[in-house]
Amino acid sequence: MPTEKEETRRQLALELERKAWRYRIDIIEMLAEAGSGHPGGSLSAIDLVSVLYHYKLRHRPAEPGWADRDRLVMSKGHGVPAQYVVMADLGYFPRAQLWTLRKLGSPLQGHPCARWLPGLDASTGSLGQGLSIAQGMALGSRLDGNPFRTYCLMGDGETQEGQVWEAAMSIPKWRIDNLTVIIDYNKAQIDGYVRDVMDLEPLADKWQAFGWHVLTIDGHDYRQIMGALDQAEQVKGRPTYIIAHTVKGKGVSFMENVVHWHGVAPKREEADRAIAELKEKAGIPAEEAVR
Amino acid sequence: MKPRATRDAFGETLERLGAEEPRIVVLDADLSESTRSFKFGNAFPDRFFQMGIAEANMLGTAAGLAATGRIAFCCSFSCFVTSRFDQIKVSLAYNDARVTIVGTHAGCGVGPDGYTQMALEDVALLRTLPNMTVLQPADDLEATQVVEYLVREHPGGPSFLRLTRQKVPRIHDESYSWQFGRIDVLRQGKDLAICATGATVHGALEAAARLADEGVQCTVANIHTIKPLDGEAVAELARSTGHVMVVEDHAVTGGLGSAVCEALCEAGATAPVHRVALREFGESGSTEELFGKHHLDGPGIYTEARSFLERF
């Protein structure tokens, strides 16, 4: 017999899997409307972001400045459309604002701007900086008696930045266990596949050697994501690094694992084709309006 | 008062304020002896973070701590910490983080360590960021009050505190009350205005005294708040004297000299401006030798003033 908690998790996973189709449709629609942006890394990260918000983060959409909220640093700032669609769904801002992405005056900046959008915990976009910021938040929480936990979502490409390894080295020094890092390991970056541009492997060995508790999961499997996030909270005396294997462009067949879709928005016709495919997979009627 | 380095006043003041303000946190990058942040670290080890030789990570960590409501001080030689400009731009400034970058060992005043240890570009870089405050005290008394301001009154956002390695003479008396955002006029004259900042202010006073003996009356303004600069006050100096000299231990491009020129142009105050600053890479030598070579000391500023007044 599954425990009550396992059953709740199973039900939530099913619900979130259904939601994810709509989130993917929203990502495609908002990028098409914006005319620029990063579909590949938004689609690879959306399942991770969705589970974080719906399952793990202690947060209050109606009170985004709540002092004891868990923090989420989107270190791979170009993937922020994944965060926007979930935040809109949760009521952080009106859904209609999704279609203002990257437009003049919009709080939905091309890369996250915490000063303009309540609910974002850090402004990022210059890669490699988020983990250090998350470290500071985790240390601040510990000084206050650990009222909140900090999460940092990183990209694989940005792991090539030297600052990431400065942070990887320094965070275990403090023996903090209130920080969970997830890497969206989708294997592609603008100029090509990560292994060709600048290989990260052996990635798990590297973080283990730096003193981290390392977990490896399928970043599109909801129960694995939930399990890893739960497990990270049980680890004492050191931070946790979750390697989430993902697929760049996940969900849209012509985008999956294609480097081109890192930083190019779909044209209207391409977006319509992607959305039609996503609707079909999700069982959403083709005629149903996206917006 | 014996001459003291502004970094000494900083270290003592921060330690003292640590007791009254629990939100202060201090980070250093393996130079805590030199920056004097170790005093705070010894007194409040839970709020002191030794980050090792990794300034980019230090800056980001400070931004994260600031996001939890803390008042962070990020300390190193100015050259090493301000050269991590992208982290300052994005992690600090764009996040409007209440972090003070404490850059000690400013300018060629570092002396024998040579060029790589000299911050000569820091003011130029940080001045470009919209919400950055740039402060450079001229003596220990002023440094103490600036640190008190940063802890007790600064409304938030990032700031840069530029401090000296070398000892500088006390130029204020005990009754001095530092005013954020103002210029500090130390003497007044009708012939020439000398704007100086940090370690060059006492040399400017020395030059002005000698010029006064020869009948040339100088205004000497200590510009401790480089950003936001009191442009109207600077323009008034130009209007009242007709000649403006700017003296700073910094590269000639982008620092206070540039800021003064910008302010005069924007105010429509026309006066020739003569900038005394470094026009080449730094090099090893004693502070006194380097200040002499680059005309940042009393005799040098006097010489520059004389040649400036001959030309205009």
Q: What is the pLDDT of residues A36-77, one digit of tens each?
A: 999 999 999 999 999 999 999 999 999 999 999 999 999 999
In terms of domains, do B131 and B56 share one?
Answer: yes
Look at residue B14 and tell me if it is in a domain: yes
Look at residue A287 and tell me if it is in a domain: no
Q: Is the Cβ pair A136, B95 closer than 8 Å?
A: no
User: Contacts of residue A78 in chain B, CB cutoff 8 Å?
Assistant: none
In terms of domains, do B250 and B128 share one?
Answer: no
In terms of domains, do B154 and B302 share one?
Answer: no
Structure tokens at A288: 């149903």
In terms of domains, do B102 and B189 share one?
Answer: no
Domain that residue B267 falls in:
184-311
In terms of domains, do B9 and B65 share one?
Answer: yes
Q: Residue A170: which of B57, B63, B90 has the nearest Cβ? A: B57
Average pLDDT, chain B: 98
Interface test with A, best of B90, B92, B99 (most A CBs within 10 A): B90
| Residues of B recognised as catalytic | 55
Look at residue A23 and tell me if it is in a domain: yes
In terms of CA atoms, which chain A residue is nearest residue B71?
A140
Could you tell me the pLDDT band of residue B222, with boundaries at 50, 70 and 90?
A: very high
For residues B17 and B100, give the distance between their C-alpha atoms in angstroms, rounded to a whole number: 15
> What are A178-231's pLDDT values in tens digits?
999 999 999 999 999 999 999 999 999 999 999 999 999 999 999 999 999 999
Cβ pair B224, B264 in contact under 8 A: no
| Number of domains into which chain A is organized | 1
pLDDT at A3: 87
Question: Domain of B96: which CATH number?
Answer: 3.40.50.970
> What are B125-180's pLDDT values in tens digits?
999 999 999 999 999 999 999 999 999 999 999 999 999 999 999 999 999 999 99
pLDDT at B312: 94
User: Contacts of residue A137 in chain B, CB cutoff 8 Å?
Assistant: 64-65, 67-68
Angle at B5 (CA atoms; ends B3, B9), nearest 5 degrees: 105
Q: Residue A144: which of B58, B62, B68 has the nearest Cβ? A: B68
Q: Residue B91: which of A133, A166, A170 has the nearest Cβ? A: A133
User: Contacts of residue A80 in chain B, CB cutoff 8 Å?
Assistant: none
Question: Domain of A249: which CATH number?
Answer: 3.40.50.970
Question: For A73-98, what is the HEC assignment?
Answer: EECCHHHHHHHHHHHHHHCCCCHHHH
Look at residue A125 and tell me if it is in a domain: yes
In terms of CA atoms, which chain B residue is nearest residue A133?
B64
Question: Domain of B196: which CATH number?
Answer: 3.40.50.920
Q: Residue B57: which of A115, A141, A163 has the nearest Cβ? A: A163
Distance from CA of B105 to the nearest CA of A (A): 24
pLDDT at B182: 98
In terms of domains, do B139 and B237 share one?
Answer: no
Last residue of a domain, one of B121, B144, B168: B168
Interface test with A, best of B23, B26, B59, B61 (most A CBs within 10 A): B61
The mean pLDDT of A242-269, rounded to a whole number, is: 97
Average pLDDT, chain A: 97
pLDDT at B206: 98
| Number of domains into which chain B is organized | 2
Look at residue A261 and tell me if it is in a domain: yes
- Provide the β-strand partners of residue B102: B75, B161
Q: Who's near B179: CB < 8 A, 6+ residues apart?
A: none
Of the CA atoms within 13 Å of residue B157, those in its CB half-sphere come to 15
Look at residue B225 and tell me if it is in a domain: yes
CA B47 → CA A188, A236, A276, B11, distances in Å?
40, 22, 55, 15
On the 0-12 / 13-18 / 19+ scale of CB atoms within 10 A, A73 is buried
Interface predicted TM-score of the whole assembly (ipTM), two decimals: 0.96
Look at residue A288 and tell me if it is in a domain: no
Look at residue A50 and tell me if it is in a domain: yes
In terms of domains, do B118 and B238 share one?
Answer: no
Q: Is the Cβ pair B67, A143 closer than 8 Å?
A: no
For residues A72 and A130, give the distance between their C-alpha atoms in angstroms, rounded to a whole number: 10
pLDDT at A113: 98
In terms of CA atoms, which chain B residue is nearest residue A149?
B68
**Taking the C-alpha atoms of B221, B118, B162 and B122 in order, what is their torsion angle to the nearest 10 degrees?**
90
The mean pLDDT of A246-274, rounded to a whole number, is: 97
Question: For chain B, what is the HEC assignment?
Answer: CCCEEHHHHHHHHHHHHHHHCCCEEEEECCCHHHHCCHHHHHHCHHHEEECCCCHHHHHHHHHHHHCCCCEEEEEEEHHHHHCCHHHHHHHHHHCCCCEEEEEECECHHHCCCCHHHCECCHHHHHCCCCCCEEECCCCHHHHHHHHHHHHHCCCCCCEEEECCCCEECCCCCCCCCCCCCCCEEEECCCCEEEEECHHHHHHHHHHHHHHHHCCCCEEEEECCEEECCCHHHHHHHHHHHCCEEEEEEEECCCCHHHHHHHHHHHHCCCCCEEEEEECCCCCCCCHHHHHHHCCCCHHHHHHHHHHHHHHC
Q: Is the Cβ pair A132, B94 closer than 8 Å?
A: no
User: Contacts of residue B72 in chain A, CB cutoff 8 Å?
Assistant: 136
The mean pLDDT of A13-23, rounded to a whole number, is: 97
B70 interfaces chain A, CB cutoff of 8 Å:
yes
Indicate if the pLDDT at residue B226 is higher than 90: yes
Domain that residue A23 falls in:
4-282
Max Cα separation, chain B? 59
Please give the order of strands across the beta sheet that includes A179-185.
Answer: A71-74, A150-155, A179-185, A240-245, A213-218
User: Contacts of residue A130 in chain B, CB cutoff 8 Å?
Assistant: 60
Q: Is the Cβ pair A132, B95 closer than 8 Å?
A: no
B233 interfaces chain A, CB cutoff of 8 Å:
no
B29 interfaces chain A, CB cutoff of 8 Å:
no
In terms of domains, do B13 and B151 share one?
Answer: yes
Distance from CA of A163 to the nearest CA of B (A): 6
Indicate if the pLDDT at residue A2 is higher than 80: no
Q: Is the Cβ pair A133, B68 closer than 8 Å?
A: no
In terms of domains, do B231 and B127 share one?
Answer: no
Distance from CA of A285 to the nearest CA of B (A): 42
B30 interfaces chain A, CB cutoff of 8 Å:
no
Which amino acid appears at position B229 of this protein?
L
pLDDT at A44: 98
Look at residue A290 and tell me if it is in a domain: no
In terms of CA atoms, which chain A residue is nearest residue B45?
A143
Indicate if the pLDDT at residue B188 is higher than 80: yes
pLDDT at A253: 98
How many A-B residue pairs are in contact by the CB < 8 A criterion?
A: 103
Look at residue B177 and tell me if it is in a domain: no
CA B13 → CA A195, B141, B198, B250, B292, distances in Å?
51, 10, 18, 26, 31
pLDDT > 70: percent of chain B: 100
In terms of domains, do B200 and B66 share one?
Answer: no
pLDDT at A243: 98
The mean pLDDT of B263-283, rounded to a whole number, is: 97
In terms of domains, do B266 and B305 share one?
Answer: yes
Look at residue B164 and tell me if it is in a domain: yes
pLDDT at B97: 98
